[in-house]
Amino acid sequence: MSSGGASVKSIQALGDIKAALARYSNEATQALSAALQESRNTLRRLEERESSLQSELRRKEEAVQRAFAAFAACEASGYYDSNGNLHRPDCTAQKAAIENARQELYRTQEELKKVQQWHKQVQLANDDFDKVARRLSNHLQSELPKATAQLEQKISILTGFTSESLPGGSSQATESASVSGGFMPESNGSALSAGGLGAGLTAGIGSSKNATSKGFSTVTWQDAQGRSLVMRTFPTGDQYMIQVFNKQGLGSSQALPGRGNAGQANVLLERDAYTGIVDRVRLQDIDPVPSFSQSGIEDALLDRVEEIALQWGVREIYGDTPSDPNILQQCLSRGYQLRDNGRSIFKTLHF
């Protein structure tokens, strides 16, 4: 119906805005962190140079003192002959050494003075930049999450309205085709096979505008047994719950239960303690229901996990080694590797 179409477009528009906000937040945080680091590195290099010059200055002062002492010793080496005539020594070299030592001392003093001036100016500029950086950081950490949360709430409301308004007919299939990045709708009779699902999801990673940094599109497909499956992603802060449902088991209301009745996975974003940037994604668990093990659910869940990582610009996914050998084999076939003596798995993504 017409209101359904409007809802789908609204979800897409809000999802695009969320994705743009997430990219801005991540890129701005990274740029801010790099600028702060470079500012600190500049101050550190100036401090190191100033310390080095102070040590050099002390050495040059000692050199001047030694030159004077050598000159004094030279003059003291003069003597009187038997007639009482004074024979003065030639101290030209010692006198020149004093002049050279003084010039070296002067050059070091001038360089130290310039470095101290630059150090002071850079420190003042750095203090001003820190104030601006703190304001921007507070904006990124408080205001942007509020805006994202409001968008997330609106997307959730629109998604819920669409789901409840469309009891599984052609409109439901239309929603899936509109927001899942080109999957074949159920209503046209071309169900996706279990083997083709993973490839379809992977093809959309990084380029789908529907997938946002905290909310992702609904994906619908049919397995080899003709069962209609729905995958949805529910974000809560830095936690993502990915659930797969057998639509036939949901009843006429289409209300989704608290746990996927066909499978689920849980993902946690891990942030750098200093910058707050998401730097790793932890796959906490992946748990397909055994009766749906040949339905492509493992591939669908892993595709969504990798999509989440790529949307956040994260290169590594890791987690405990799955106890189910079938799931472990599925992970290994997708490029995951074992480490920590087989206790954990990881995968490095390439953008």
Query: What three-state secondary structure class fits 294?
Result: coil
CA pair distance 139, 254, nearest whole angstrom: 39
Higher pLDDT, 16 or 51: 51
Of 58-72, 124-138, 190-204, 268-282, least confident by mean pLDDT is 190-204
pTM: 0.42
Higher pLDDT, 168 or 187: 168
Share of the chain above pLDDT 70, in %: 76
Q: Which residues contact 252 (CB under 8 A, 6 or more apart)?
A: 167
**Looking at the predicted structure, is the pLDDT value of residue 243 above 50?**
yes
**Looking at the predicted structure, is the pLDDT value of residue 108 above 60?**
yes
Higher pLDDT, 170 or 263: 263
Confidence of residue 161 (pLDDT cuts 50, 70, 90): low
Q: Taking a C-beta distance cutoff of 8 angstroms, is the pair 214, 233 a contact? A: no
**Looking at the predicted structure, is the pLDDT value of residue 81 above 70?**
yes
CA pair distance 36, 39, nearest whole angstrom: 5
Task: Quick: pLDDT tens for 212-229.
Answer: 344 578 888 888 888 889
Cα→Cα distances 236→103, 145, 173, 269, Å: 69, 12, 27, 11
Of 81-85, 175-179, 339-343, least confident by mean pLDDT is 175-179
CA pair distance 214, 147, nearest whole angstrom: 12
Once rounded to an integer, what is the mean pLDDT over residues 106-124?
Answer: 90
**Looking at the predicted structure, is the pLDDT value of residue 336 above 90?**
yes
pLDDT computed for residue 215 by the predictor:
59
CA pair distance 130, 316, nearest whole angstrom: 31
pLDDT computed for residue 123 by the predictor:
87
CA pair distance 289, 244, nearest whole angstrom: 10
Write down the domain spans for the chain: 166-348
**Looking at the predicted structure, is the pLDDT value of residue 351 above 70?**
no
User: What superfamily would CATH give domain 166-348?
Assistant: Gcn5-related N-acetyltransferase (GNAT) (3.40.630.30)
CA pair distance 111, 54, nearest whole angstrom: 10
Burial class (CB in 10 A: 0-12, 13-18, 19+), 275: middle
Residue with tokens 């746990």: 259
Higher pLDDT, 17 or 265: 265
Task: Quick: pLDDT tens for 116-156.
Answer: 999 888 888 888 888 888 888 877 777 777 777 777 777 77
Mean pLDDT of all residues belonging to the chain: 77
CA pair distance 209, 221, nearest whole angstrom: 20
Share of the chain above pLDDT 90, in %: 26
